[in-house]
Amino acid sequence: MNEVDVPLHAVAHARAGDKGNRSNVSVIPYLPEAFPYLLAQVTEARVLEVFAHKGATACSRYVLPRLPAMNFVIDNALEGGVNYSLGLDGHGKSLSFMLLGDIVVRVPEHCVPTHRQPR
Amino acid sequence: MSRKVFIGCGAGFSGDRIDAAVPVVRTLSRLDGERFLIYEVLAERTLAIAQKLRRDDPDKGYSPFLDAYLSRVLADCHAHGIRIVTNMGAANPLGAAKRVQALAAELGVRGLRVAAVTGDDLLATLSEAEILAHPRIEGLDPEVRKLVAANAYMGARPIAEALATGAHVVLVGRTTDAALSLGPLVHVHGWGENDLDLLAQGTVCGHLLECGAQVTGAYFADPGFKDVDDLAHVGFPIAEVDAHGELLITKAADTGGLVDRATVIEQLLYEVHDPRNYLTPDVTLDLGEVTVDQVGLNRVQVSGARGKEPPATLKATVCFDAGWLGEGEITYSGPNALARARLAASVVRTRCTEIGITERVRVDVLGTQAVFDGDAPQRRPTVEFPADGEYRVRAAARSAHRHIAQQVADEVLSLYCSGPAAGAGVRQNVTAQIGTASILVDRAHVTPGITVVDAS
């Protein structure tokens, strides 16, 4: 089985939301066959590492096997959130794409959908 | 057998597209069943702004967008029996109800019954000290600040009661966003407080609709990866829900956008923390075994939500004045733009220190994935960016004092003549800030009231 290293963005999509200083980011594989590889590799520890420079202190992962999808909840990820943050994105709406870009996963080739080139 | 309920959404936040509901109403008007149109326009801070408007004028304090949203649909909704449920009541649901009647008169809409739901405003029943004595679960410490608003999240029952008066339009202030949909479902299907799985499915329906087009392809499109047809004309969502809680998500006819498994799953988990314990006043929602199936073009079925007993307390949002945010931006473009932008950032930092600003000042170079950065000195490691290109420097500071926020913005403005070569396009903003905290209150403090306002 031929395995490839790809950014998470190639095999999954994500959406970020906020409640106060806590961010949640869903991670959803394009193809269900990728899910076991994501479960093994996109761990709480790795996600926390991606948010570490923002001051994140904890990360919990919730698994929804029947979708399939994962939901990450990252504490203190938003520099205080919209109450405190001086950044342009106090809600952390863009952080789903930080995660998709910063995490690289190793998956069998058949788990990577053929994305067409952007128009 | 009770009829199928169709619920369309016309707005997912207070700045949402003003005419998005028009195709939704057109689609609903052709359907056979109980039909509702909801608008969710009340973010945490929006209510505080409304409360300030009410202080200035006791007749105001409802959504400033009420006329713009409703004038486009009120006549058609009334003609076709589509009932409207919205939190445009904001800080003054009764004032909003009166305004809707006035609007109906202006539009020549006759025989309209409007109902206002009150009871969420804790300032009406509790002292500031009593409010602040409640346990805080999140947000700023309100003790040191000036309270502007305190509102408990009510559930679906008061909305269902308001609909039972025969009201064509129901105006609420703070309820859960999902209650805007669950209320009509409880009203039509007669779901009781113990029908927890049905309430759970209805809450999922509300959760999927409450952000408008976020479930129909917006906040989603990623060209080449997640393509969405005709996003400029994205259709807003319509849910179909039967008495057994069977839930189908679709969208307005003849619109752009997309409803598929991916759009629905993203929204299903949006702003959810523990998916097995999503707390609402009506039910504790368990999404753990939910399934999402495409059953047709732009038609997705969502099943398997489970309900548990709701929590004993209600969540309330407390809002208070939180000073000022000052921001300034300037652009550098072309050869060596990154170095010029970084020099500008360093000049602003130096100047802010030397003129004695003690507040934290953040300076970013936009174009370098700055929204992913932490605040200085903690920066994201890694990435290199091209020396030539287009970069925008942004400085920001919060202060209790307006003039200090302004000073930081002005340090960016002065770069025009006193910064690196060819700085361009300065924009400044100094805006009043509203802080929030969440507290838990006893249900006994929240007594829903319903007032019917008929045409005079």
pLDDT per residue as tens digits for the range B56-70: 999 999 999 999 999
pLDDT tens digits along A97-106: 999 999 999 9
The answer to whether residues B305 and B408 belong to one domain is no
What single string gives the DSSP state of each residue in chain A?
--EEEEEHHHHEEEEEEEETTEEEEEEEESSGGGHHHHHHHS-HHHHHHHTGGGT--EEEEEEETTTTEEEEEEET-STTGGGT--SS-TT-TTHHHHHHHH-EEEEEGGGS--PPPP-
Number of domains in chain B: 2
- Quick check: B329 and B295 in contact, CB under 8 A? no
Structure token pair of residue B319: 């809002």
Nearest chain B Cα to A29, which residue? B262
**Residue to test with chain B: of A18, A83, A91, most B Cβ within 10 A:** A83
- Pairwise CB contact (< 8 Å): A67 & B290: yes
Weakest mean pLDDT among A69-83, A96-110, B204-218: A69-83
Residues forming beta bridges with residue B332, ordered by sequence position: B391
pLDDT tens digits along B152-186: 999 999 999 999 999 999 999 999 999 999 999 99
The domain spanning residue B339 has which CATH number? 3.30.70
The answer to whether residues B301 and B338 belong to one domain is no
Q: Per the domain annotation, does B372 fall within a domain?
A: yes
Query: A14: which chain B residues are within 8 Å (Cβ-Cβ)?
Result: 266
CA distance A79 to chain B (A): 7
The answer to whether residues B377 and B265 belong to one domain is no
Contact A114/B at CB under 8 A = no
The answer to whether residues B306 and B329 belong to one domain is no
Note down the domain range covering B376.
318-438
- Out of A69, A79, A83, the one facing B375 most closely (by C-beta) is A79
Residue B43 sits at φ, ψ, to 5 deg, of: -70, 170
Boundary of a domain, candidates B311, B326, B351: B311
* Residue B280, C-beta contacts closer than 8 angstroms, at least 6 positions apart: B153, B155, B176, B178, B179, B203, B310
pLDDT tens digits along B264-318: 999 999 999 999 999 999 999 999 999 999 999 999 999 999 999 999 999 999 9
- Pairwise CB contact (< 8 Å): A53 & B379: yes
Query: Which whole number is the average pLDDT over B440-447?
Result: 94
* Cis status of the peptide bond prior to B310, with omega within 30 of 0: no
**Residue to test with chain B: of A88, A100, A116, most B Cβ within 10 A:** A88
The answer to whether residues B248 and B326 belong to one domain is no
d(CA A50, CA B419): 34
CA distance A1 to chain B (A): 24
What single string gives the DSSP state of each residue in B129-196?
HHHHTSPEEEE--GGGS-EEEEEE-B-SHHHHHHHHTT-SEEE-SSB-TTHHHHHHHHHHH---TT-H
Segments making up each domain of chain A, as ranges? 3-111
The answer to whether residues B361 and B243 belong to one domain is no
ipTM over the 0.90 cut-off: yes
The answer to whether residues B286 and B334 belong to one domain is no
DSSP letter assigned to residue B47: H
* Residue B49, C-beta contacts closer than 8 angstroms, at least 6 positions apart: B434
Residue A54 sits at φ, ψ, to 5 deg, of: -90, -5
Query: Which whole number is the average pLDDT over A25-50?
Result: 98
If one compares A57 and B375, the residue with the highest pLDDT of the two is A57
